[in-house]
């Protein structure tokens, strides 16, 4: 067993405690024990000597390996010293025996006990590893959703994104990432970017020499500009997101699944930053900016920025988003054309920056098949000197703007591919949970787990609908908040787990009933602002006061309602996103097919094991259940009784009143037998007018008492109809295992013989088998049918009313 090591960065405790335990648990008690040995007769005859072995075993468990080995060595040396000091006390052979006993006792106890300790520790480590895997999976989901939201915000050109639900934090994260990429490239690629500008400006032949000169100037200033060029408008909102992303980056599963897509997006972003660097150097600008256009909000958002050391920010302006209808860039957005502003005494304010001279060009998507195009944003260059921009600078920016549009389109494509892949993975996990379900209870649990893999919410429930009774039943509930269920008035139903098993009518006004009748999720998008968990009864008359929003997804198959999934969110979670709703609808659509198959499978299993008329167990399945009952009885040593019932003069009832009346008689008797039997008993229709019961853990006395009670109930019944009233009686035969039989077939045969003895004796009576089994495989089993006094219980027969 390896010694436990200290955690990294924690100093192991040294000093008194390190040496005090061996002294207290080892040497001092050992010295006291040997003192007692010497005082009570010596090593050879002292009755205290076995205490040495016991204490060594205890010490080896309480102390570390080295300390316990030292204690054993001290004991061995003590006895060797006693033998050398007083040779007559103990001989050398006896000393060898003592030493062997000490080693065996200490080693045996340590091995056995530490094996248990290792097992417990291994289980604890496995539990911790499983918890870490779960935490890493949650971190992976958080990182993926954050990166995709950040990429969408970058492409959409807005601070908030309603489709992804990321709010302003996603925009802040995208801005921080874009600026961080620009900063990283400024240090590593300062010289390379200047050289790459020549390729980017190949179309501008007239300015080739000017570009070369600009490259030389840029190379001279690159090292000085690297530290401060791209530190534009640091957003304080990016700090929490950066910390969360750094924590989530530890997930190895996310890196393995999405490395290629996210890596490709990062490469494209680096290329975008390279284009901005090239554009700045090409037009000899002090600052190059790219603003993304949000057409719906009519705003411009800063998404890329590189600057030289001379660039200055506007004081008091920290926002990255501003109206597209104000400022110098408003003309570019309105007219979709480039502008050039000459230097003036008053500086131009562009977003959060101020420049003396400005040139800006629109950036468009690649034209579609119809030749149309849409505006992506604005690429702007500014100078802090009095040197103006010329027409050729605008031409160069327009050419680089087309390259910038290609990079943005490529990034959008990769983000869309990664989003589709991520959605497919979540749907695959959800569908895999529903594919191998065979029972309704397993279906309900797996369905809620599948929905939670799409979106984790505070409340999930599944209700099943029975069209025959027009009733809903709450099958399963998953809740992560201690909400109380209100019955619509002042009466409280307790926690949400109290909902399980609750029935409510489809005619009651409830959101579940409305969704099933409408055949689509409710509330719909138009109602979402006015519907909350505290306004509308969800399960009949029950309310969920602490839920902020509720959505019911119906499960229907060929227009027939099967059940519903209820999704509820807390106020701090926000409502379901459109993407979440779409994926949950796909899961519930697949679940409808699965639930239909589960019910069909259950119905087929019921048809194969139950009688169609009475609903009791059929004869074939009864034989299997009887065999199982006898195997349990043989294992645990208790008795099993079989009760066979036959309706008296049943043929006369069919001949006189017809088979419909005979069926009514059989159904009524089946109901009586089912009501009087216990839940653990088996009630089956054996054939025709015969019924049979398996009474587990019941002797012959108990079986006869039950049979007599049922016989009186049947005799008191009068089945009424258009034909009048019919009274029936029944005869009963009882046999008990193992007193009357040693096998299932023999036990049924004994009960049948007792039944026909009752019929021959006049019917309407209970008769117990008087036969005794002489072939008992285990003599101890013969005591099962005896009383406590050891005498055989007398056989009961012909117990008459």
What are 483-493's pLDDT values in tens digits?
A: 555 444 434 44
pLDDT of res. 66: 65
DSSP helix/strand/coil, 643: strand
Task: Please report, for residues 660, 663, 717, 720, 726, the alpha-carbon distance to residue 723 in angstroms, rounded to integers and kept in the order given.
Answer: 11, 14, 16, 7, 8
For the residues 567-589, what does the mean pLDDT come to? 82
In this predicted structure, the answer to whether residue 135 has a pLDDT above a threshold of 80 is: no
Gap between the Cα atoms of 400 and 200, Å rounded:
7
Bridge partners (DSSP) of residue 555 are 563
pLDDT tens sequence across 203-246: 333 333 333 333 434 343 433 333 333 333 334 334 333 333 43
Bridge partners (DSSP) of residue 362 are 378
pLDDT tens sequence across 91-105: 666 667 767 766 666
Gap between the Cα atoms of 707 and 701, Å rounded:
10
Strand ranges of the sheet holding 503-505, from the earlier edge strand across to the other edge = 503-505, 471-479, 459-466, 560-569, 549-557
What structural domains does the chain harbor? 16-130 (no CATH), 157-224+254-419 (3.30.450.40), 436-607 (3.30.450.40), 610-800 (3.30.70.270)
- The answer to whether the CB of 752 falls within 8 A of the CB of 644 is yes
pLDDT of res. 514: 83
In this predicted structure, the answer to whether residue 174 has a pLDDT above a threshold of 50 is: no
For the residues 488-510, what does the mean pLDDT come to? 66
In this predicted structure, the answer to whether residue 317 has a pLDDT above a threshold of 60 is: no
Gap between the Cα atoms of 759 and 512, Å rounded:
56
How many C-beta atoms surround the C-beta of residue 425 within 10 A?
14
Mean pLDDT of the chain: 70
Task: Please report, for residues 151, 262, 411, 621, 633, the alpha-carbon distance to residue 159 in angstroms, rounded to integers and kept in the order given.
Answer: 12, 21, 18, 67, 72
For the residues 364-374, what does the mean pLDDT come to? 68
| Least trusted range by pLDDT, from 96-105, 392-401, 546-555, 662-671 | 96-105
706: tokens are 């039950």
- The answer to whether the CB of 65 falls within 8 A of the CB of 107 is no
- The answer to whether the CB of 786 falls within 8 A of the CB of 792 is yes
- The answer to whether the CB of 697 falls within 8 A of the CB of 639 is yes
In this predicted structure, the answer to whether residue 75 has a pLDDT above a threshold of 80 is: no
Give, to the nearest 10 degrees, the angle between helix 619-636 and helix 578-609: 90
| Least trusted range by pLDDT, from 209-218, 401-410, 572-581 | 209-218
Is-catalytic flag, 354? no
Gap between the Cα atoms of 393 and 284, Å rounded:
9
HEC letters along 549-584? EEEEEEEEECCEEEEEEEEEECCCCCCCCHHHHHHH
Gap between the Cα atoms of 537 and 424, Å rounded:
34
| Least trusted range by pLDDT, from 145-159, 209-223, 679-693, 736-750 | 209-223
| Least trusted range by pLDDT, from 73-82, 229-238, 286-295, 654-663 | 229-238
For the residues 353-357, what does the mean pLDDT come to? 89
Task: Please report, for residues 756, 773, 780, the alpha-carbon distance to residue 740 in angstroms, rounded to integers and kept in the order given.
Answer: 16, 5, 15
pLDDT of res. 627: 92
| Residue from 79, 689, 757, 773 carrying the catalytic annotation | 689
pLDDT of res. 548: 75
Gap between the Cα atoms of 518 and 132, Å rounded:
44
In this predicted structure, the answer to whether residue 649 has a pLDDT above a threshold of 70 is: yes
pLDDT of res. 194: 35
Closest Cα to residue 595, out of 538, 554, 566?
Answer: 554
598: tokens are 């589960």
Q: What percent of the chain has pLDDT over 70?
A: 58
How many C-beta atoms surround the C-beta of residue 628 within 10 A?
14
pLDDT tens sequence across 193-204: 333 333 333 333
- The answer to whether the CB of 639 falls within 8 A of the CB of 699 is yes
| Least trusted range by pLDDT, from 142-151, 336-345, 439-448, 588-597 | 142-151
pLDDT of res. 678: 92
DSSP summary character for residue 314: P
In this predicted structure, the answer to whether residue 2 has a pLDDT above a threshold of 50 is: no
Beta pairing, strands 640-647 & 690-696 = antiparallel
pLDDT of res. 706: 93
The phi and psi torsions of 383 (rounded to 5 degrees) equal -125, 150
* 715-734 burial: b if 16+ Cβ within 10 Å, else e: eebebeeeeeebebebbbbb
Q: pLDDT higher for 87 or 595?
A: 595
| Cis ω for the linkage preceding 738 (within 30 of 0) | yes
pLDDT of res. 267: 63
For the residues 177-194, what does the mean pLDDT come to? 38
Task: Please report, for residues 391, 533, 699, 767, 787, the alpha-carbon distance to residue 793 in angstroms, rounded to integers and kept in the order given.
Answer: 119, 66, 11, 16, 6
In the numeric block, the tokens 């400006």 are attached to 201
Q: pLDDT higher for 604 or 297?
A: 604
pLDDT of res. 731: 95
- The answer to whether the CB of 569 falls within 8 A of the CB of 577 is no
Gap between the Cα atoms of 695 and 712, Å rounded:
19
In this predicted structure, the answer to whether residue 158 has a pLDDT above a threshold of 50 is: no
Q: Which residues does 468 contact at the CB level (< 8 Å), separation at least 6?
A: none
Q: How confident is the model at residue 691 (pLDDT cuts 50, 70, 90)?
A: very high
pLDDT of res. 770: 79
Gap between the Cα atoms of 36 and 31, Å rounded:
9
């Amino acid at each position: 067993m390896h010694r436990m090591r200290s955690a990294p960065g924690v100093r192991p405790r040294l000093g008194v405690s390190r040496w005090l335990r061996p002294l207290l648990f080892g040497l001092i008690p050992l010295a006291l024990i040997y003192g007692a040995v010497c005082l009570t007769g010596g090593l050879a005859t002292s009755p205290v000597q076995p205490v040495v072995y016991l204490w060594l075993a205890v010490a080896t468990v309480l102390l570390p390996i080295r300390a316990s080995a030292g204690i054993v060595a001290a004991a061995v040396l003590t006895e060797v010293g006693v033998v050398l000091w007083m040779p007559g006390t103990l001989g050398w052979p006896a000393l060898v025996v003592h030493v062997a006993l000490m080693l065996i006792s200490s080693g045996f106890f340590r091995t056995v006990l530490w094996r248990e300790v290792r097992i417990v520790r291994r289980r604890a480590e496995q539990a911790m590893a499983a918890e870490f895997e779960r935490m890493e999976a949650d971190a992976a989901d958080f990182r993926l959703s954050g990166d995709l939201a950040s990429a969408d915000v970058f492409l959409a050109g807005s601070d908030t994104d309603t489709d992804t639900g990321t709010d302003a934090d996603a925009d802040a994260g995208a801005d921080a990432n874009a600026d961080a990429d620009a900063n990283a490239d400024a240090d590593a690629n300062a010289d390379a970017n200047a050289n790459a500008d020549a390729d980017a400006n190949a179309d501008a032949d007239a300015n080739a020499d000017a570009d070369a000169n600009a490259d030389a100037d840029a190379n001279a200033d690159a090292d000085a500009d690297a530290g401060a060029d791209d530190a534009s408008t640091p957003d304080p909102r990016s700090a929490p997101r950066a910390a969360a992303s750094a924590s989530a980056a530890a997930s190895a599963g996310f890196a393995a699944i999405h490395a290629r897509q996210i890596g490709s997006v990062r490469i494209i972003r680096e290329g975008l930053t390279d284009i901005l660097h090239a554009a700045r150097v090409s037009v000899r600008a002090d600052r190059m900016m790219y603003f993304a256009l949000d057409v719906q909000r009519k705003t411009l958002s800063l998404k890329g920025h590189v600057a030289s050391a001379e660039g200055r920010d506007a004081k008091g302006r920290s926002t990255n988003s501003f109206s597209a209808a104000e400022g110098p860039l408003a003309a570019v957005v309105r007219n979709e054309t480039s502008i050039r502003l000459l230097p003036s005494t008053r500086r131009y304010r562009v977003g959060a920056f101020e420049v003396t001279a400005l040139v800006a060009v629109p950036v468009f998507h690649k034209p579609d098949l119809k030749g149309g195009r849409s505006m992506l944003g604005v690429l702007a260059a500014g100078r802090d000197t009095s040197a103006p921009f010329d027409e050729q600078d605008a031409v160069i920016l327009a050419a680089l703007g087309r390259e910038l549009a290609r990079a943005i389109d490529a990034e959008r494509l990769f983000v869309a591919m990664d989003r589709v892949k991520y959605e497919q993975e979540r749907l695959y996990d959800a569908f895999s949970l529903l594919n191998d379900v065979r029972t309704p209870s397993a279906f309900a649990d797996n369905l809620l787990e599948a929905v939670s893999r799409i979106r984790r919410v505070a409340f999930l429930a599944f209700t099943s609908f029975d069209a025959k009774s027009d009733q809903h039943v709450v099958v399963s509930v998953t809740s992560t908040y201690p909400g109380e269920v209100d019955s619509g008035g002042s009466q409280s139903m307790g926690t949400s787990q109290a909902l399980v098993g609750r029935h409510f009518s489809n005619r009651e006004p409830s959101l579940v009933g409305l969704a099933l009748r409408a055949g689509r999720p409710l509330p719909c998008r138009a109602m979402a602002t006015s519907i909350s968990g505290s306004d509308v009864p969800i399960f009949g008359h029950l309310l969920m006061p602490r839920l902020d929003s509720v959505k019911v997804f119906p499960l229907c198959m060929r227009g027939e309602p099967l059940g519903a999934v209820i999704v509820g969110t807390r106020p701090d979670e926000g409502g379901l996103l459109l993407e979440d709703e779409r994926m949950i609808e796909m899961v519930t659509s697949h679940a409808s097919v699965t639930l239909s198959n589960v019910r069909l499978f259950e119905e087929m299993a019921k048809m194969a094991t139950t009688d169609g008329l009475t609903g009791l167990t059929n004869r074939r399945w009864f034989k299997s259940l009887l065999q199982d009952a006898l195997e349990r009885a043989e294992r645990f040593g208790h008795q099993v009784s079989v009760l066979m019932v036959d309706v008296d003069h049943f043929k006369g009832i069919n001949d006189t009143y017809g088979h419909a009346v005979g069926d009514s008689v059989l159904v009524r008797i089946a109901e009586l037998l089912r009501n009087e039997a216990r839940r653990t008993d088996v009630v089956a229709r054996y054939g025709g007018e015969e019924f049979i019961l398996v009474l587990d853990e019941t002797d012959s006395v108990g079986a006869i008492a039950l049979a007599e009670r049922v016989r009186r109930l049947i005799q008191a019944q009068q089945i009424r109809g258009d034909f009048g009233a019919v009274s029936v009686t029944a005869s009963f035969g009882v046999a008990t295992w193992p007193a009357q039989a040693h096998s299932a077939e023999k036990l049924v045969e004994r009960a049948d013989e007792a039944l026909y003895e009752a019929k021959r004796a006049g019917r309407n009576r209970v008769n117990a088998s008087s036969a005794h089994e002489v072939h008992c495989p285990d003599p101890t089993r013969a005591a099962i049918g005896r009383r406590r006094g050891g005498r055989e219980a007398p056989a009961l027969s012909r117990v008459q009313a």
